[in-house]
Amino acid sequence: MNAKAILITYPEEESINEALSLAETAGYDVKKIVKQKHITRSRYGIGKGKALEVKDLLDTMNIDVIIFDEVLKPSQHYNLASLCKKEIIDRERIILEIFERRSSNSESRIQIKLAQLRYEMVRVKEKVRLAKIGEQPGFFGLGKYDADIHILDIKSRMSILKKKLEKEEKRRKLYRYQRNKLGIPTISLVGYTSAGKTTLFNHLTGESKITGQGMFTTLTTFTRALNLNENKVLITDTVGFVNKLPAYMIDAFKSTLNELVFSELILLVLDISQKINDIKIKLNSSLHIMNELQVPNTKIIYLFNKIDLTDLNDAYDKYIDLGLEDSNHIVLPISSKTGHNLDKLKDLIGDIIYGKKISIKNNRKFFK
């Protein structure tokens, strides 16, 4: 069963949606959302009054953890945890937990372990700093001497991991062009957190779940069979892009996407109901990462998801604004919620992967 959580985040809808998706992806069941304009305040992250409110909520609800949608300093973490007597998972930790759940190869497991050690290192150093200035002595039961040993230990673990990583990178480069193990074409869903990847994944594979036999038992929960009339492909719901991803996590993030090079087709999911500037930023950074992973642009289909929240005219304007009409991009407005155009999407995937040449000269037809 999933751990039950209180989520503390900003009041903007976008922040709430993203934080909710992150919590869900990490396997938490959010029972209550607490919103506050400022969540980087000094003592508890949130203001004292709000912190007491959270404490009261905890007394009346059956909650396992507090998810805090910002990065907490160790002292803030300590203060809030002491007040509420609950485990606190901050934004960086939840992202690391997601990466850990989704890592599918040894290289990404090492990268994620390295990122986790960096996370730990920052916190131990802060404890040492606080101990030195006489605040929080014996912070979390750690004396300064213990903390120094701890830092040395983290450093040596990191250097061992870095050596392992070099070997794995070499190996990956060697096997880069090897086909995937099952020999069945694979397609991948990519996009920002809360764009609707998982909803689409569930919608597309809903009927195929029962195929959990034979070779499909080797699949993970994030890769399933997708039936297209007589044919089959495998579809993977990849880890989502995250706003404000800390720099030290970028390698770990990219490594979870390494397998994209084995994908026949990439479905790039965009939330088309968002403001054009937000979509632009997200599209550009998604394409930038794909480029770094050496995924050819020609493998990408752009899915304008959540079309039910806007209309085709608006989607068409955005399509022009994003500059997607200039080349041979395939763009399809869909709704993972209502199912709009999902049959068309399946036909399209089938056509692209199983032979039929497709030439979509005029995307405009999709916007009718």
Ligand X SMILES: Nc1nc2c(ncn2[C@@H]2O[C@H](COP(=O)(O)OP(=O)(O)O)[C@@H](O)[C@H]2O)c(=O)[nH]1
Cα atoms in the 13 Å half-sphere on the side-chain side of 93: 18
Among residues 239 and 349, whose Cβ is nearest to ligand X?
Answer: 239
Rounded Cα gap, residues 92 and 34, in angstroms = 19
Sheet holding 265-271, edge to edge: 223-228, 231-237, 186-191, 265-271, 300-305, 330-333
Q: Closest CB to Mg ion belongs to which residue?
A: 198
Among residues 77 and 197, whose Cβ is nearest to Mg ion?
Answer: 197
Tokens 């939840």 -> residue: 94
Q: Mark the segment that binds Mg ion (CB under 5 A) among 59-67, 115-123, 193-201, 338-346.
A: 193-201
Mask for 10-29, x = binds Mg ion (CB under 5 A):
---------------x----
Closest contact distance (angstroms) between CB of 198 and Mg ion is 3
Among residues 45 and 196, whose Cβ is nearest to Mg ion?
Answer: 196
Residues 136, 137, 141, 144: is their CA dihedral positive or negative?
positive
Rounded Cα gap, residues 329 and 317, in angstroms = 16
Closest contact distance (angstroms) between CB of 21 and Mg ion is 6
Closest contact distance (angstroms) between CB of 269 and ligand X is 6
Closest contact distance (angstroms) between CB of 239 and ligand X is 9
Q: Mark the segment that binds Mg ion (CB under 5 A) among 37-45, 148-156, 189-197, 324-332.
A: 189-197
Token pair of 265 as six digits: 């087709």
Helix, strand, coil percentages for the chain (3-state, nearest 5): 55, 20, 30
Q: Which of 111, 198, 256, 274 binds Mg ion (CB under 5 A)?
A: 198
- Sites of contact with ligand X (CB under 6 A): 17, 21, 191, 193-199, 240, 305-306, 308-309, 335-337
Rounded Cα gap, residues 320 and 312, in angstroms = 12
* Contacted entry of Mg ion, ligand X, none for residue 305, CB cut-off 5 to 8 Å set by kind: ligand X
Among residues 199 and 243, whose Cβ is nearest to ligand X?
Answer: 199
Among residues 110 and 234, whose Cβ is nearest to ligand X?
Answer: 234
Closest contact distance (angstroms) between CB of 252 and ligand X is 18
Among residues 45 and 191, whose Cβ is nearest to ligand X?
Answer: 191
Q: Closest CB to ligand X belongs to which residue?
A: 196
Closest contact distance (angstroms) between CB of 289 and Mg ion is 17
Cα atoms in the 13 Å half-sphere on the side-chain side of 304: 31
Q: Mark the segment that binds Mg ion (CB under 5 A) among 45-53, 154-162, 191-199, 307-315.
A: 191-199
Residue length, the chain? 368
85 phi, psi to nearest 5 deg: 55, 40
Among residues 36 and 274, whose Cβ is nearest to Mg ion?
Answer: 274
Give every CB contact of residue 152 below 8 A, 6+ residues apart in sequence: none
Q: Mark the segment that binds Mg ion (CB under 5 A) among 56-64, 135-143, 196-204, 354-362.
A: 196-204
Q: Which long-range contacts (CB under 8 A, 24 or more apart) does 90-98 make?
A: 91/22, 92/119, 92/246, 92/249, 93/119, 94/22, 94/23, 94/26, 94/67, 95/22, 95/242, 95/245, 95/249, 96/249, 96/252, 97/26, 97/27, 98/22, 98/25, 98/26, 98/239
Closest contact distance (angstroms) between CB of 203 and ligand X is 9
* Contacted entry of Mg ion, ligand X, none for residue 186, CB cut-off 5 to 8 Å set by kind: none
Closest contact distance (angstroms) between CB of 274 and ligand X is 11
Token pair of 297 as six digits: 């642009």
Closest contact distance (angstroms) between CB of 39 and Mg ion is 23
Among residues 197 and 282, whose Cβ is nearest to ligand X?
Answer: 197
* Contacted entry of ligand X, Mg ion, none for residue 310, CB cut-off 5 to 8 Å set by kind: none
